A and B are shown apart, each in its own frame.
Chain A
């Protein structure tokens, strides 16, 4: 952890120095101090908050819907064979296909803008969450189910006292992977057809060849991703202490 901070600071230092010493062209790689300036300027003008709000809303709706739909679909597929046979081909298809290819179709359906971004965000993360939930439920140790049955467990007991708690680690891992994919969905969606948002501002400043402002937006997205993943790791530690806890 400490070493990580040190190496991160060292890279920033080297980056800043090579530009200041004139060894590298700031047009291509900018420099940390200029990026910090750009960020504080964007924060003061309100541009940063505006973009952040748009992107966060798209993320929240797209990811939130995929959490609900993904866990529900995965759980039903894990519980009922019939549902599994129906859901499975879609999961495989969506899992192996480069989903970005759907983007133009979504534009056709929803037009350029927020709905399309939400749709691509949802699609990218829902498969991960559903697949993990399904796998979590399917990989419950049959020995545990048998032990529960030996004490007279009903189907309901099996679900609540064995299947669901046993699959929590896999479901949460799916939620964490889903965050990364949802953020990717937001950024990619905004790169191509949006009028606001962090992805949009990357594309916008990129087109204007304003490297510093562009990298500033990238930094915000990276920080956002780190924060979301950290939040989920905290949740994971809470529910998953029996597996990851001190041993």
Chain B
């Protein structure tokens, strides 16, 4: 039944050198100081991961398994307590032009129009030699928001707002697209539509993409590789290579292979859901 699923060990130390993988995570530990109480919350515990250039990798797991923390550490927005992240073999010490993030809560500037929100990243990265507005306009069109350039975020639906978030990230032409549960607050139907459209955009230039989700179907549908995470403490429990042909459509979700992946991942996650949220250690 599971013969067609390729399982790989979480430790991929033999899979090429650091230079060969686009993103390499080595023994990464992320911890948060808990307010008031003298304790530390271990969000991610010694995670190892290699992501090849041009692959679409999804991270799936129950809430509190540290999947967002892992992504934010790669983004350089969270400082690791241990281990390190390498991008193109260079250690990450903060945000960089090679990476752009799409956030779950969209994080659009409410006082800026759609067009100016897409310009936002270009302005911050001091892009020059090109008309920023013209470039922003192209990306607004790419995500299907032509005609909404001068709307403010509060005038748009959640799905449309996240299209702006995606356009803002793509406009700065990053090598790596980091998406932190980008469709988490959308309704199921919109989520499926957005997933298909994201794939269509991704297939135009195949940037390396890392996509965090708690939706199993979404994780399979998008991915070349699925990283399954578990709680207590947050860790990578399994990495699954998805051999579904591309381009994928909504019908892909009905294929036998897809259902098999789904069954396997669910079984993977089931064993862990009973446990408490995150490990707590006192020092």
Contact = CB atoms under 8 A, between A and B. Distances in A.
Interface of A: 141, 143-144, 146-153, 157, 161-162, 165-166, 168, 241-243, 245-247
Contact of B107 (A146, A161, A243): A146
Interface of B: 75-77, 95-97, 99-101, 103, 105, 107-112, 120-121, 123-125, 152, 154-155, 172
A152 B107 contact: no
Contact of A151 (B108, B112, B120, B154): B120
Contacts of A147: 101, 103, 107-108
5 contacts: A148-B124, A149-B95, A150-B75, A151-B172, A243-B110
A168 B111 contact: yes
A161 B101 contact: no
B119 to A, nearest CB: 11
A143 B107 contact: yes
Central interface residue in B75, B110, B111, B152, by most chain A CB within 10 Å: B111
A165 B111 contact: yes
A247 B155 contact: yes
Nearest to B122: A151
Nearest to B96: A152
Contacts of B172: 151
Contact of A152 (B97, B154, B155): B97
Nearest to A150: B101
Contacts of B154: 242-243, 247
**7 closest A-B pairs (Cβ-Cβ)?**
A147-B107, A151-B124, A151-B121, A242-B111, A150-B101, A143-B107, A242-B152
A145 to B, nearest CB: 9
Contacts of B95: 149-152
B125 A152 contact: yes
A157 B126 CA distance: 11
